[in-house]
Structure 1
């Protein structure tokens, strides 16, 4: 019964993050049907990301003061409505506006959902990796879903993309009922035994998250178009590359939770960033079908730390779990969008390869930022890393 709210939230997370992935998946179609430049197309990524990256920490501050479970279904519907309308708008400014509204809806979902998932699971790394996996699967499904919808009638068919939002809202409503029974006692215990906030470590980790975000969002925006160029394939080749980028994250997220139970979160995050450097280099520089292997390795490297960032941030700021969730989740999926117009402008001026080349360096910067960090002390969160280890093992066994 304790795991039921986490399961419902994971499924709802998948529905919501369809709309994170759908914006990037629709970029090639906006370029093809509306003759948008790379810079204009990346502006859509910025529109979804800018408000989302700013709004998520603000929603996190609100959820630190008051639990807001009603936000879950409302934000899911708002996230879906913006993307659903993006293909039927009559102008570029209006398209930017509805995509931005979708970003705000997505922003409202994540802090409250992460807070609730932590409360319901007792802060387990493994449970949080399952919650994160839901979002990764939503990302992975987005290019396939977008391609299928566009095939039925071009961009005019985007209202069909509202279906996951309706399903997600229903799941959220069920989760709210389950949380009323299961999550409230855990949340109360969390408030009774807070540790001290470690802002210095949290900010260093957040800098690493930004580096990861720029790499991931940059690849999300342009890997579909880049794969067509590098492999000589058509739309299917581009869709496949984006699908691999997102699906590899599902494997990486589950692996991250399991590895952290054995080696510690900070150690796993450091190794992930270090190994991502050659994987991104291969994605940018290797031609032909081998590009897909490099994309898969890049995806796994970027996603192994994903759920670990969330729990680590929450343990660095045990008195501000909502804020920590809003920053880590918000930056992880949004801050990279702030750099996407620069990448688009560089691609217009030179080439996609030239625009993607700087991404090779950023995982190394993330490794440097994480190099001196340590695991939070035993009193830093609701339970220590040592106390969490049996929970993770029990969940794997059962």
Structure 2
């Protein structure tokens, strides 16, 4: 699980890297904001379209080789963004990154489920790796591009090389016991019952609501806090750090809380907390705003890994699809919604544009309130 978690960070750093490159495209290539947003949209849109396809493929055939290959693909796309000055080619290589990220998540979620033996806490550590990678992207991009310019972008491939090696090492540790228990696992699969698509669709709808809130705040919280507190650049950076800090605490705490209270109650209360917290972010001025950013971070991150295990338990026969949707597709959809928030902010104000985010976790809570806790599949040990 440690290898998979660090490998997850090495992949998801490229989800955040595309957006982190935008200011450099604007300054060095004089891209308009619309053109720069188009680059982010290219990665998010393509990832959203192809991710369910990879989920369906991994449900039909085990594809463990996808983990190192998709990691390299995701890194290669970002690494090539500064090599070409063509806008069309830049869109193309960014799309390659989107494909790599999309290919990674379904099979990675399955591998993590096998390695964790269904543990909520262990899946929390796996999700934590991805969150930390996403949060580290701006630091990585700034360290490389601010120093050497866009032409230094090939250096950004280094995390992908490390991640591919980690994934390969993790798979060697998983494959041996998995193959030894293949016969027993097949028998267990027959006893799992039918996939609960109705519950899975409701869960996915809630996760989409969560994703739009998180991506929207990630994009604009820094500027918004500066406007609301009258502080400088440091005040906005601090708010973004507080928002991301929840990834280090919330994902692990979510697994522990679920073990004690159950996944559904923890997820429901997290969404209810997020409604109040986002309302505070939008409506409360001055320094108290940081408290509401912290509460929003907790509400968004505590259910993060629980979404994955719930989705897999609702679709026990299609764990690749479940992992791809809950861990990857919904995050990409949040990226697609971000330009809409920006356009509304241009037409009205940033506060007005962020106000609809208050309603989204409430909608998510409504979708979740009718869900029942799925039965955990029983792991059958191999003889001997």
Say which is worse superposed, 258-267 or 151-160, in terms of deviation: 151-160
Say if 1:255 and 1:304, in contact at 8 Å, map to a contact too: yes
CA distance in 2, matches of 1:190, 1:159: 43
Deviation at 1:359, TM superposition (A): 1.2
Partner of 1:3: none
Alignment deviations for residues 343-365 of structure 1 (CA, whole Å, 9 cap, x no partner): 22222323333322211110000
Task: State the partner residue of 1:126.
Answer: 121
1:19 corresponds to 2:4: no
- CA deviation vs aligned residue, 1:157-214 (integer Å, no higher than 9, x gap): 3332211111111111211221222344456544322322101001111110111111
Q: Quick one: distance in 2 between partners of 1:226 and 1:35?
A: 25
Give yes or no for the alignment of 1:193 onto 2:188: yes
Equivalent runs, 1:1-398 vs 2, <5 Å: 6-185=1-180, 189-194=184-189, 195=192, 196-232=194-230, 236-377=234-375, 381-382=377-378
1:205-255 deviations in Å (ceiling 9; x for gaps): 111011111111222233344344445555554444333322312211001
Task: Say which SS state the counterpart of residue 80 (structure 2) adopts.
Answer: helix
Deviation of the 1:34 alpha carbon: 4.5
Unaligned runs of 5+ residues in structure 1 are 1-5, 385-398
Spell out, residue by residue over 1:88-147, the C-alpha distance to the aligned partner (whole angstroms, 9 max, x if none): 442433332222211110111111111011112211111111111111111121222222
Contact 2:205/2:367 (<8 A) preserved? yes
Output the CA distance in 1 between the equivalents of 2:138 and 2:226.
15
Structure 1 residues 187 and 114: CA distance shift in structure 2, 3 A: farther
Given the two structures, how large is their TM-score scaled by the length of structure 1?
0.87
Greater CA deviation, 30-39 or 311-320?
A: 30-39
Q: Residues 91, 279 of structure 1: CA spacing in aligned structure 2 closer, same or farther, 3 A cutoff?
A: farther
Aligned residues: 377
The farther-off stretch of 154-163 and 200-209 is 154-163
Q: Can you give the 5+ residue segments of structure 2 that lack an aligned partner in the other structure?
A: none
CA RMSD of aligned residues (A): 2.3
**Inter-CA distance 295–47: structure 2 relative to 1 (3 Å threshold):** farther
Q: After alignment, is 309-318 or 348-357 more displaced?
A: 348-357
**Against the structure 1 CA distance between its residues 65 and 235, is the aligned structure 2 distance closer, same or farther, given a 3 Å change threshold?**
same
